[in-house]
């Protein structure tokens, strides 16, 4: 992990970094309480398709978890996304067009965006190793990611014992990439899960969302369903995610006097 920039705003320090993994350079951000590098639980945040590590909902979630709970938060650009995109401007235009219903992903774009996301789990593991070596992590990690953030983070969580709690959403079984392996990963989950689903999601059928929730092997799992489309999760679900982490990660240890 190479720190390339650091700034502090209202008690939250934001460190921009890069990490080389298997010949790729992965850009990331680490948020921490200002002036406090003690070991703490860290929440890993995976952005959605066509998004990047610093979209507003991620920056706001990070600030809330750092300020209210003292957790650390890390976001990475997924392969093909953010600073790793061949043409970030074109992706942003496509994202807006998709949201308006006036654009479609062509085969080339789809390959550029999603062709290499399978390697992202290994990148997350490398960054987890780094923050543990640096003494910033106390060994407990949570995960937050919906849509593509679930497609990547659910198999990661199922196979990574350091991640002990997760918020997933906007994903289903039998739709989207992953297929059989994704269903198997869901069944292999054991950690407490909060699963966010939108009742009128234009990308996921209700049945596929219910099937994914049903398949999850976790003893403790909760599904929150709200009206509205794919990108319309209500603001108050951020508080529900925070409450989920407080229940499952617990508090930050008090400093040793």
> Cβ(167)–Cβ(144) under 8 Å?
yes
- Please select the residue that binds a second copy; options are 3, 214, 232, 253, rule is CB under 8 A: 214
> Cβ(49)–Cβ(227) under 8 Å?
no
Q: Would you tell me the crossing angle of helices 148-159 and 179-188 to the nearest 10 degrees?
A: 50
Residue 157 is classified by DSSP as H
Task: Select 10 or 235, whichever has its Cβ closest to a second copy.
Answer: 235
φ, ψ at 118 (rounded to 5°): -60, -25
φ, ψ at 166 (rounded to 5°): -150, 150
Q: How far is the CB of 196 from a second copy (least distance, A)?
A: 10
Q: How far is the CB of 167 from a second copy (least distance, A)?
A: 14
187 interacts with a second copy by CB under 8 A: no
245 interacts with a second copy by CB under 8 A: no
The stretch among 10-18, 46-54, 175-183, 225-233 that binds a second copy (CB under 8 A) is 225-233
Residue 115 is classified by DSSP as T
Structure tokens, 62: 């990070």
232 interacts with a second copy by CB under 8 A: no
111 interacts with a second copy by CB under 8 A: no
Q: How far is the CB of 226 from a second copy (least distance, A)?
A: 5
Which secondary-structure segment (H or E) carries 63? Answer: helix 56-69
247 interacts with a second copy by CB under 8 A: yes
Task: Select 145 or 192, whichever has its Cβ closest to a second copy.
Answer: 192
Q: How far is the CB of 225 from a second copy (least distance, A)?
A: 4
Contacts of 212 (CB under 8 A, 6+ apart): 171, 172, 173, 186, 195
- Please select the residue that binds a second copy; options are 215, 221, 229, 238, rule is CB under 8 A: 221
> Cβ(144)–Cβ(169) under 8 Å?
no
Which residues are at the interface with a second copy (CB under 8 A)?
199, 206, 210, 213-214, 219-227, 234, 236, 239-240, 243, 247
């Amino acid at each position: 992990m190479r720190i390339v920039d650091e700034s502090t705003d209202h008690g939250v320090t934001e460190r921009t970094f890069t990490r080389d993994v298997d010949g790729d350079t992965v850009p990331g951000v680490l948020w921490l309480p200002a002036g406090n590098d003690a070991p703490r639980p860290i929440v890993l945040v995976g952005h959605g398709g066509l998004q990047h590590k610093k979209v507003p909902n991620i920056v706001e979630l990070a600030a809330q978890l750092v300020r209210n709970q003292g957790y650390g938060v890390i976001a990475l650009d997924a392969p093909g996304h953010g600073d790793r995109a061949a043409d970030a401007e074109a992706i942003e235009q496509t994202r807006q067009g998709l949201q308006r219903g006036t654009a479609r992903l062509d085969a080339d774009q789809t390959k550029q965006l999603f062709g290499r996301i399978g390697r992202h789990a290994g990148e997350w593991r490398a960054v987890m190793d780094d923050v543990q070596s640096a003494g910033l992590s106390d060994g407990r990690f949570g995960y937050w990611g919906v849509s593509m953030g679930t497609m990547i983070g659910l198999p990661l969580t199922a196979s990574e014992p350091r991640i002990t709690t997760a918020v997933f959403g906007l994903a289903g079984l039998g739709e989207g990439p992953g297929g059989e392996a994704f269903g198997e990963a869901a069944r292999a989950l054991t950690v407490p899960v909060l699963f966010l689903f939108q009742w009128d999601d234009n990308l996921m059928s209700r049945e596929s969302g219910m099937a994914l929730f049903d398949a999850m092997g976790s003893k403790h799992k909760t599904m929150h369903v709200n009206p509205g489309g794919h990108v319309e999760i209500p603001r108050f679900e951020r508080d529900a995610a925070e409450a989920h982490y407080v229940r499952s990660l617990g508090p930050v240890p008090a400093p040793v006097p």
